[in-house]
């Protein structure tokens, strides 16, 4: 066989092989690992700068904030916190801000605009609604009012150069007035204005397969909380890779989800939360990413 033809066949074979590379693998490798700072709430409340430095030393590249209030996070202004993050090679794509009940009250718009401005200063892309207090969860009408508020807030966020997401727990999947909060929030919000951050642990605990949720809402679940469930009857929080959730299966469906960012979170740790998030990122780097 002439060399030119042999070379052509070899090159063609290599090109064909490229088309069979698992695109999900390429997709995942581009994703830096983030951590939700609520996991370190006690530590960051005492020493924000030192805590963020340790987070970076463990290999995390992104953080998701919580505890926004009074135009500050952890006692730092948006500009101050932005500087601390930058000095440690960190970015913050998302921040948990107001609870869902925020949209059940009148006159929230001005406060929302300020939060959007502060989040933008911090360099965040998403301003995220993290929680709905228990006394507001027993009414489908409340969820509908919140959905309407999210649509308006999403438009204001867009005008301010930001995006809006809603973060779930298990209760959004519970039946209320013949439906669920999650169904109302997904169906009655504008797909262009309201995205979702799926907490994998809470979705699984509520009896749902995250991959099926991705399929039902393709491209709309743009962030995840990567949190594992232990093997006890309590089904409690544990380090990623130490429990029962099939993260390999979930990460393989990242493109269907539309996932842009993911954050390790562990609400309760058996010892130092630094030890727990170290174990989680080690598992992710070795087995998933």
- Taking only the tens place, the pLDDT of each residue in 121-161 is 999 999 999 999 999 999 999 999 999 999 999 999 999 99
Predicted confidence at residue 30, as pLDDT, reads: 59
- Taking only the tens place, the pLDDT of each residue in 212-258 is 999 999 999 999 999 999 999 999 999 999 999 999 999 999 999 99
204 pLDDT exceeds 70? yes
- Taking only the tens place, the pLDDT of each residue in 61-102 is 999 999 998 899 999 999 999 999 999 999 999 999 999 999
Euclidean distance between CA atoms 225 and 59, whole angstroms: 17
- 115 burial type by CB count under 10 A (0-12 exposed, 13-18 middle, 19+ buried): buried
Say how many residues make up the chain: 289
23: confidence class by pLDDT, cuts 50, 70, 90 = very low
Euclidean distance between CA atoms 78 and 98, whole angstroms: 16
Euclidean distance between CA atoms 8 and 83, whole angstroms: 53
CA distances from 27 to 23, 194, 196, 205, 254 (A): 6, 23, 20, 27, 8
Q: What mean pLDDT, rounded, does the chain reach?
A: 92
Mean pLDDT of 166-187: 98
Predicted confidence at residue 70, as pLDDT, reads: 83
Residues near 274 by beta carbon (within 8 Å), at least 6 away in sequence: 40, 43, 54, 58
Which CATH architecture is the domain 23-288 placed in? Alpha-Beta Barrel (3.20)
178 pLDDT exceeds 70? yes
pTM above 0.85, yes or no: yes
48 pLDDT exceeds 50? yes
Nearest to 33 by CA among 106, 90, 115: 90
Predicted confidence at residue 19, as pLDDT, reads: 39
User: Cβ of 65: how many Cβ atoms within 10 Å?
Assistant: 23
Please state, for a pLDDT cut of 90, what percent of the chain lies above it.
89
3-state per-residue secondary structure call for the chain: CCHHHHHHHHHHHHHHHHHCCCHHHHHHHCCCCEEEHHHHHHHHHHCHHHHHHHHHHCCCCEEEECCCECCEECCECHHHHHHHHHHCCCEEEEEECCCHHHHHCCCCHHHHHHHHHHHHHHCCCEEEECCCCHHHCCCHHHHHHHHHHHHHHHHHHHHCCCEEEEECCCHHHCEECCEEHHHHHHHCCCCCCEEEEEEHHHHHHCCCCHHHHHHHCCCCEEEEEECEECCCCCCCEECCCCCCCCHHHHHHCHHHHCCCEEEECCCCCCCCHHHHHHHHHHHHHHHHC
Nearest to 210 by CA among 131, 221, 29, 219: 221
CA atoms within 13 A on the CB side of 285: 13
Helices 109-122, 78-87: inter-axial angle, 10-degree rounding:
30
Predicted confidence at residue 276, as pLDDT, reads: 98
């Amino acid at each position: 066989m002439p060399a030119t033809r042999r070379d052509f066949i070899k090159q063609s074979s290599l090109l064909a092989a490229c088309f069979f590379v698992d695109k999900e693998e390429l997709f995942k490798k581009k994703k830096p690992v983030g951590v939700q700072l609520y996991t370190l709430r006690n530590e960051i409340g005492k020493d924000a700068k030192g805590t963020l430095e340790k987070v970076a030393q463990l290999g995390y590249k992104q953080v998701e904030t919580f505890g926004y209030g009074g135009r500050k996070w952890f006692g730092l202004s948006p500009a101050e916190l932005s500087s601390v993050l930058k000095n440690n090679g960190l970015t913050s794509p998302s921040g948990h801000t107001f609870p869902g009940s925020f949209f059940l009250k009148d006159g929230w718009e001005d406060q929302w605009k300020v939060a959007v401005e502060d989040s933008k200063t911090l360099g965040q892309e998403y301003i995220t609604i993290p929680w709905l207090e228990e006394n507001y969860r027993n009414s489908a009408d409340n969820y509908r009012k919140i959905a309407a508020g999210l649509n308006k807030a999403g438009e204001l966020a867009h005008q301010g150069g930001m995006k809006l997401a809603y973060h779930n727990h298990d209760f959004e999947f519970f039946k209320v007035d013949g439906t669920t909060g999650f169904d109302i929030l997904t169906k009655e919000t504008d797909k262009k204005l309201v995205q979702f951050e799926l907490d994998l642990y809470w979705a699984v605990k509520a009896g749902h397969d995250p991959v099926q949720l991705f399929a039902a809402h393709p491209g709309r679940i743009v962030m995840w909380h990567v949190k594992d469930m232990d093997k006890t009857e309590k089904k409690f929080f544990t380090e990623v890779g130490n429990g029962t959730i099939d993260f390999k299966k979930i990460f393989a469906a990242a493109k269907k989800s539309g996932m842009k960012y993911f954050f390790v979170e562990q609400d309760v740790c058996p010892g130092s939360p630094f030890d727990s998030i170290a174990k989680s990122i080690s598992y992710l780097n070795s087995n998933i990413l």
